[in-house]
Amino acid sequence: MGLHDQYGLTRVINARGPFTPLGVSRSTDGVASVTAEALSGFFVMEELKDLADRTIAEATGAEAGTVVHCTSAGITLSVAASMTGASQSRVAALPDTRGMPKTVLLPAGHAVDYGHPIVQDVRLTGATPVLVGSDAGFTLDELEEGFARPDVACLLLVSSRLTRGDDVPLAEAVALAHRHGVPAIIDGAAQDFRVKELLGTGADLVTVSGQKYLGSPTAGLVIGRGDLVRAVRAQEKGIGRAMKPSKEAIFGVVAALRARHETHQQAWEKEQHHKVARFVERASGLRGISAAVVPDPTGLPFPRARLSVDPAAAGLNAATLAKALQSGTPSIWVMAHDQDKGELTLELVPLTYQELDVVLGRLAELSQT
């Protein structure tokens, strides 16, 4: 008997992407078995962290990397590292910031809310987030003004579909921070496929999620400059104690990175395109629904399926359809952020063909009643 039946839990088909309230992602059997094996062993945790460091550096080309509890923890601990450096007394003092730089600059449109506000990750260290520009965007002149403050610890940037405003030239913002002698951190939680590109902006630290597309147990990877990664690790004797990675998560990350290295990326992408094209072709035949293959808005290497609902022909609008999908058994979750425009978006990466047929079957039922 599966866990859902055993504990009376709702069965879910997740076409919403790596969505935290639904358990984020699926690990492969390989990652799951390494994780399970880790649980029954003892390890010298420092050795395990050194293994993660080497594996992340090899996989990304960065100088160093480490694993913390999650991306959110990665943001907090990266900010803390920029405030404390290698000083053990500073690590022990946080969130008391006396004598440390404590302003964290971030573009206003990057003050995202991914279930909680990212500025709270900053405030947890004792630092003060200071927003630059407006939701519409920011200019490098406005950022320059921010750096005029005497106490700037770091610049925090976000690469996500959640950011608002004109696309920020990340590399130029990073270069500006460096001209002021300040490190730049990028939160690229769901952008693990693009981590080399994000490091290519010159950013000192990039944080990505283990449990999103990488498919490890819950973990945050902090990747970049050796001295700053060591300063992130040093936080475990301070505020990072509450954000530490488990042994099984570190093993899971190492296994997932190795598996990704062995994956034939082009074949994987071709399979994703095939899956979405097949789904779109079948969904297009349904009454009142037209479907299209659309690219990922952040440049991730797989497409999504977009359904446009014609309420007159389908007998229900996009919002009602999304609600009906969710309230059935199994509960089907789609991205409904454009439902007012009559559109629903589905991300199919973790789904099996069998699950896709269940989704198509339900769409057919709902658009004909």
Residues that bind ligand PLP (CB under 6 A): 20, 70-72, 112, 114, 158, 160, 162, 187, 189-190, 209, 220
Q: Distance between CA atoms of 145 and 149, rounded to whole angstroms?
A: 8
For residue 69, the minimal CB distance to ligand PLP (Å) is 8
For residue 91, the minimal CB distance to ligand PLP (Å) is 21
Pick 34 or 112: Cβ nearer ligand PLP: 112
Pick 24 or 325: Cβ nearer ligand PLP: 24
For residue 203, the minimal CB distance to ligand PLP (Å) is 15
For residue 67, the minimal CB distance to ligand PLP (Å) is 11
- Alpha carbon distance, N-terminus to C-terminus of the chain: 33
313 alpha-carbon distance from chain centroid: 37
Pick 187 or 236: Cβ nearer ligand PLP: 187
Contact 53, 64 (CB under 8 A): yes
Pick 52 or 158: Cβ nearer ligand PLP: 158
| Count of all residues that appear for the chain in the document | 369
CB atoms within 10 A of CB 159: 26
Nearest to 75 by CA among 21, 19, 20, 118: 118
Residues 6+ apart with CB under 8 A from 120: none
Q: Distance between CA atoms of 274 and 13, rounded to whole angstroms?
A: 19
Pick 160 or 317: Cβ nearer ligand PLP: 160
Pick 26 or 114: Cβ nearer ligand PLP: 114
For residue 104, the minimal CB distance to ligand PLP (Å) is 15
For residue 282, the minimal CB distance to ligand PLP (Å) is 30
Take residue 263 and report the two structure tokens written for it: 């994956």
Q: Distance between CA atoms of 252 and 35, rounded to whole angstroms?
A: 5
Nearest to 327 by CA among 366, 364, 290: 366
Pick 27 or 367: Cβ nearer ligand PLP: 27
Q: Distance between CA atoms of 137 and 210, rounded to whole angstroms?
A: 29
For residue 14, the minimal CB distance to ligand PLP (Å) is 14
87 alpha-carbon distance from chain centroid: 30
